[in-house]
Amino acid sequence: MIAEWQNHKTQLRSYVSKRIDDIDAVDDILQDVYIKASSNLHQLKSKGSLKSWLYRIAHNTIIDFYRKRQPYEDLPEDLVAEEQDTGKQAREELAQCLRPLIEELPEKYRTPLRMAELEGVSQQEIANQLGLSLSGAKSRVQRSRVKFREQLMACCDFEVGQDGITDYSPKDPANNPKC
């Protein structure tokens, strides 16, 4: 291995020095390449591929060198981790805004929609509480969503982008008194 290493060492040094902006680190990187190659020699498939294998190790070692050098700032000691907001508060605020529109739906649609969307009740539990089959509860929730969407579209104009709804504005309540 040492004889083969000596044959490629000069070329590897040139390869590394062209890619590293710190001249002092070139020898350190070459040493790391040699250590990695020596300890993983059993992975070399054929002696003919030694040169390309060494260059791959050198390339990966250069990448590791730059990864270690990425600047970072220490966080202040008094920094307190924010509570992880799962969006619960936002959902509750939205639910309060949407509740009046949901209340305008007929009871048949209002109850399953409120249970599924505002209370987080499973569709199986909705079926149990309303005396429906599971497929009946699923259908009821789906129809409730459609009716609610129609009502929402009648009351608001939405701007939709790649990330979903990006903006909205209420329509004139004079045209639709339920809004």
> For the chain, what is the total number of helices (H) and then of strands (E)?
7, 2
The arrangement of secondary structure in 98-170, i.e. its CATH architecture, is Orthogonal Bundle (1.10)
Give the DSSP per-residue string, 50-92.
HHHHHHHHHHHHHHHHHHHH----PPPTT--PPP---SHHHHH
Is residue 40 very low, low, confident or very high in pLDDT (cuts 50, 70, 90)?
A: confident
pLDDT given at position 139: 94
Render pLDDT for 87-122 as a digit per residue (tens, 0 to 9): 566 667 666 777 888 888 999 999 999 899 888 899
Q: Which of 11-20, 77-86, 168-177 has the highest mean pLDDT?
A: 11-20
Is residue 160 very low, low, confident or very high in pLDDT (cuts 50, 70, 90)?
A: confident
- Could you state, in order of their start, the residue ranges of all structural domains in the chain? 2-69, 98-170
User: Domain 2-69, what fold?
Assistant: Rna Polymerase Sigma Factor; Chain: A (1.10.1740)
Q: At residue 86, does pLDDT exceed 60?
A: no
